Amino acid sequence: MWIIKFKLKHDCVIGNRCQKFKVTTVGTPFNTYQEKGATHAPQIQTLHGDERSINEFIRDLKKDDRVRKLQREGDTLFFIEVRKEKIPSSFYNARLIHVKPVSVDSDGWEHWEVASWDKGILTQFVNDIETHVGQVEVSKIEKTKFIDIHYSKLMPRLTANQNLL
């Protein structure tokens, strides 16, 4: 198994606002799809920061015409980003495994850590992002025997009896 850790800065509906409002997020992009010539990228983001900054972030995000179907539950957002231009998840390959959720710092940098059995898949993913989307800085690429794998929880809250069904 190969793992790559990198950070990325680009024109981003989340990263731009993290920098503007000095908040951070932890989130997960889901499978993208193409419709009417645009990339649709569903994602979930949990915001971290002071309440005022988070509320300003969300108010500003609601005004962005690239954001659709925004839903909020506390400090967690679920929405679809719609873009004509490429975004990092445009290059996602089903053979990539998210090792950790993607985090965005208060300077607007996205921090990614993904793995694959094939090193070439990882390097192609990062090269495509750098060529078409934004600035990339790789901090680690290495072969490893065991890794923790992040798996998003997108499940309803079930009782113990419902979990048994």
Which tens digits make up the pLDDT trace of 67-119? Answer: 999 999 999 999 999 999 888 887 888 888 888 889 999 999 999 999 999 99
Is 160 a member of any domain? no
165 in a structural domain? no
With respect to residue 164, please indicate whether it lies within any of the assigned structural domains: no
- C-alpha 30, offset from chain centre: 8
Strand partners, 150: none
CB 1 within 8 A of CB 143: yes
What is the residue range of 52's domain?
2-143
% of the chain exceeding 90 in pLDDT: 66
- Domain assignment of residue 116, yes or no: yes
Residues paired with 7 in a beta bridge:
111, 137
Number of domains comprising the chain: 1
Q: Which residues contact 64 (CB under 8 A, 6 or more apart)?
A: 13
153 within some domain: no
Give strand pairing partners of 103.
26, 111
- The two tokens of residue 16 are 């731009």
Q: What pTM did the predictor assign?
A: 0.85
Question: What is the CA 82 to chain-centroid distance, rounded?
Answer: 14
